[in-house]
Amino acid sequence: MLDLMIVGLLSAAGLPGLPTVDSATAIADCSFEELRLGGCDGNDDDNLELEEFRPGNPGAPGNPSPNQPPAPNNPRPNPNNPNPPASPGEPGAPQDPNSPPAPGNGGWQCEDSGGELLGNSCVDDLAPEPEEPALPAEPVAPEAPDIPAEIDERDVASFAPEPVVPTIEPFGVAIMNAPMNVAFEVASHTVGGSLFDLPVSVTFTPDLVTIDYGDGTQTQIPGSAATWDGLGQPQLTPTASSHTYGERGVVTVTVDVAYVATVDFGEWGVFPVSGHIVSRGAGTEVQIYEKQSYLVERTCQEDPQGPGC
């Protein structure tokens, strides 16, 4: 009651900026000594501060009195504030390191590389920026080898196919004045090896076959020649590769095959071979027999000693 009366007297004295009696009742919870010392703080509770009515009064916020002692260590608790300020020596409420410093408290803020505030605590050693991986080196194209513009049969002579050995019908001999058949088979094939110090594959394709019958007679056919059986023909009948001898004797039959060729150098391309590569046959010896017919009275079975038996 004494506090209320003192405030009332101050108001009655007509001091400017002081609250009225009705306002004074709002600060009845504060003693006059607390008002004088500025210890009655109403910012966080329902009480009113005297300084709120006199902004220019020494001791008001922003205008501290030079003779004003420091505020009490344990301000009056506010029943409406669930988190009162911590006492000295006690841990306060956790602080958000990213929150800006309170106005008037000074301090500084750190920013990360993206411009985000880190608070009053900064990381001394930030993680280094990852280095960009080095780009792979451009592949170097190999130098083109020296391949002649023209490759001839002499360059691939060592790759030439094996000679052809013919089949002579009938039974490896010939009968005078009757067809003799020469049969053989030729086909394309590929041989691997090295040419001009490069790995290659050479492909041979038969183009022309020359048959030399050994009596000064030759014939040419484009490819293989079949047997009488393969042609479905009876023996001693003419074929594309047959020949008839007019005299008895011994002859050498040869079959030469002329091939066209290409050389594959892999990534450097395929090159044709000029001319033909001829595979010459070794020759097959053939005996020519004479067939004779006689008109007799009895067969050889009936008279083994008869003429022609």
pLDDT at 3: 43
How many structural domains comprise the chain?
Answer: 2
pLDDT at 143: 80
**Cβ atoms of residues 151 and 209 within 8 Å:** no
Would you say residue 79 lies in a domain? no
Instruction: Give dist(CA 78, CA 44) in Å, integer.
Output: 7
**Is 277 found in the same domain as 169?**
yes
Is residue 25 classed as helix, strand or coil in its secondary structure?
helix
> Residue 104: which H helix or E strand, with range?
none
pLDDT at 98: 52
Would you say residue 21 lies in a domain? yes
pLDDT tens over the chain, length 309 residues: 444 344 444 444 444 444 444 444 444 455 666 656 655 554 544 444 444 444 444 444 445 554 555 555 555 555 555 555 544 444 444 555 555 554 444 456 666 667 777 666 565 555 677 888 888 888 877 787 888 889 998 999 899 899 999 999 999 999 999 999 999 999 999 999 999 999 999 999 999 999 999 999 999 999 999 999 999 999 999 999 999 999 999 999 999 999 999 999 999 999 999 999 999 998 999 999 998 776 767 777 888 887 766
pLDDT at 298: 76
Q: Positive or negative, the Cα torsion across 155, 165, 287, 176? A: negative
pLDDT at 242: 97
Q: Give the number of other Cβ atoms within 10 Å of residue 7's Cβ.
A: 22
Question: What is the CATH number for 263?
Answer: 2.60.40.10
Find all residues with CB under 8 Å of 272, minimum gap 6, and list them: 151, 260, 261, 262, 263
Would you say residue 298 lies in a domain? no
pLDDT at 156: 92
Instruction: Give dist(CA 160, CA 279) in Å, integer.
Output: 7
Would you say residue 263 lies in a domain? yes
**Cβ atoms of residues 296 and 245 within 8 Å:** no
**Cβ atoms of residues 27 and 48 within 8 Å:** yes
Would you say residue 59 lies in a domain? no
**Is 158 found in the same domain as 275?**
yes
CB burial readout 15-50, b (16+ within 10 A) else e: eeebbeeeebeebeebebebbebbbbbbeebebbbb
In angstroms, the Cα distances linking 136 to 4, 114, 203, 242, 296 are: 89, 31, 40, 69, 100
Domain that includes residue 191, residue range:
151-289
**Is 156 found in the same domain as 275?**
yes
Would you say residue 88 lies in a domain? no
Would you say residue 303 lies in a domain? no
**Is 279 found in the same domain as 162?**
yes
Would you say residue 109 lies in a domain? no
Burial class (CB in 10 A: 0-12, 13-18, 19+), 206: buried
The whole model's pTM is what? 0.51
**Is 158 found in the same domain as 270?**
yes
Instruction: Give dist(CA 161, CA 259) in Å, integer.
Output: 9
Measured in degrees and rounded to the nearest 5, phi and psi for residue 10 equal -65, -40
Measured in degrees and rounded to the nearest 5, phi and psi for residue 21 equal -60, -40
